[in-house]
Structure 1
Amino acid sequence: MNLPLRKPMTLPEFLAWEEQQPIRYEFDGSAPFAMAGGTEAHAIIQTNLAIAVGGRLRGKPCRFIGSDLKALVADNSSRYPDGMIVCSPVQNRRTTIADPVIVFEVLSSSTASTDRIVKAREYQATPSIQRYIMLEQDRIGATIYARAGDTWTFEILSDDAILQMPEIGIELPLAELYEGLNFDIEDETSKEISQSS
């Protein structure tokens, strides 16, 4: 949902404004956008991500942060990634992260174009971000952008692939992030709905 405003906001104005709101908003550099709810598949992938990555980081200097904190990116945008890896010291009362190392987004039909284009540009313009991982929601799959100087390299993973994150020294089977989801049931339900139409 786009919130109409009389003039573009600055990032400091947005951050002060959002603190007073009952719901969360992202900020694209000029206007706030209300955060939409997700699906059960989205929630399961996000939970699996926190368990799989967070567990592997125990005892290490970096940590997994869920979608409760804002990432300040591209100098003037504020986003709530589905997950991020942060390696800077903990500040207990901090509500924004200015230096994420890895960012995760779980794609949905309503956000995929923003995640693939707009956020990819913002994350690339954020020097601390070394890897941007977009996880598919309706199949086992990921698109990964990794920093290579001033540009990104990209890789597409599916099914039995291993998700490597050398920046933090861990890797894991991509399928582990989809544990508990059954895509065959979704396919059968979709076929039944289309046949009854």
Structure 2
Amino acid sequence: MKSYARLVAMNLAVRKTMTLAEFLEWEARQELRYEFDGETPVAMAGGTFAHAAIQRNLALAIGGRLRGKPCKFVGSDLKIEVAGSSRYPDGFVVCSPVANDAIIINDPVVIFEVLSPITASTDRTIKAREYQATPSVQRYVMLEQDRIAATAYVRADGDWNVHVLLNEAVLAMPEIGVEFPLAELYEGLDLTPNADQDDRATSDQTSDR
């Protein structure tokens, strides 16, 4: 009965409109992780092996290159506050000092999301708007799982430029002083770039605009 009552209470909370402060207080009591879309909690879905591999490679590629520098790479266990919402990106970089007991960061500089069929629409639209509305964010990188490809939104002179990276492209992030081959994020995955993928990337970019 206790488990059933807890499930009912959780379902009611998920449907209830909250403030960010109310959500953070509520989430602290939950066993599972939730994002906050500005009004209600959103349950986090599980991922694939490819998703996990790309997350791991992000930590290795960026975390290693930032050793000894002010900026730090943070994985998906820590949430960020963006435009009144609370999100767990697949990775991000913060360049300000962070307390050891911090549970939320409000000034990420670079944000990474690994796209999936379930989350791609939200990542490309709602989260893109939230991240762009956050003054500290200089770059938002969306990584695809099934091919070596990324779309990066880059802040420039008060506007946002869109860059599509494929296959042997270099992911350059001057705002944190890091660059490396995009393919490094796909090490350990069986992906074979081909012409059809390039054509699809062009089509995706056209539709995004």
Calculate the TM-score normalised by the size of structure 1: 0.89
Asked if the contact 1:124–1:151 (Cα under 8 Å) also holds between the matched residues in 2, the reply is: no
- Post-superposition offset of 1:152: 1.1
Match of 2:52 in 1: 43
Q: What secondary structure does 2:125 align onto?
A: helix
- Post-superposition offset of 1:161: 0.1
Gaps spanning 5+ residues in structure 2: where? 1-10, 193-209
Q: What secondary structure does 2:171 align onto?
A: strand
1:59-98 mapped onto 2 (5 Å cutoff): 59-74=68-83, 76-98=84-106
Cα-to-partner distance string for 1:41-88 (whole Å, 9 max, x where unaligned): 0000000000000000011110100001110001x1000000000111
Letter in 2 for 1:38: G
- Post-superposition offset of 1:130: 0.4
1:1-197 mapped onto 2 (5 Å cutoff): 5=13, 7-74=16-83, 76-184=84-192
Rounded Cα–Cα distance in structure 2 between residues aligned with 1:56 and 1:153: 25
Rounded Cα–Cα distance in structure 2 between residues aligned with 1:154 and 1:100: 19
Cα-to-partner distance string for 1:92-120 (whole Å, 9 max, x where unaligned): 00010000000000000100000000000
- Post-superposition offset of 1:7: 4.0
Rounded Cα–Cα distance in structure 2 between residues aligned with 1:149 and 1:108: 31
Rounded Cα–Cα distance in structure 1 between residues aligned with 2:164 and 2:143: 10
Letter in 1 for 2:162: F
Question: RMSD of aligned C-alpha atoms?
Answer: 1.4
Rounded Cα–Cα distance in structure 2 between residues aligned with 1:151 and 1:31: 30
Calculate the TM-score normalised by the size of structure 2: 0.84
Rounded Cα–Cα distance in structure 2 between residues aligned with 1:134 and 1:91: 28
Tell me how many residue pairs correspond in the alignment.
182
Identity %: 67
Rounded Cα–Cα distance in structure 2 between residues aligned with 1:50 and 1:16: 29
Q: Which has the higher helix share?
A: 2
Asked if the contact 1:105–1:135 (Cα under 8 Å) also holds between the matched residues in 2, the reply is: yes
Rounded Cα–Cα distance in structure 2 between residues aligned with 1:148 and 1:9: 34
Rounded Cα–Cα distance in structure 2 between residues aligned with 1:109 and 1:59: 37
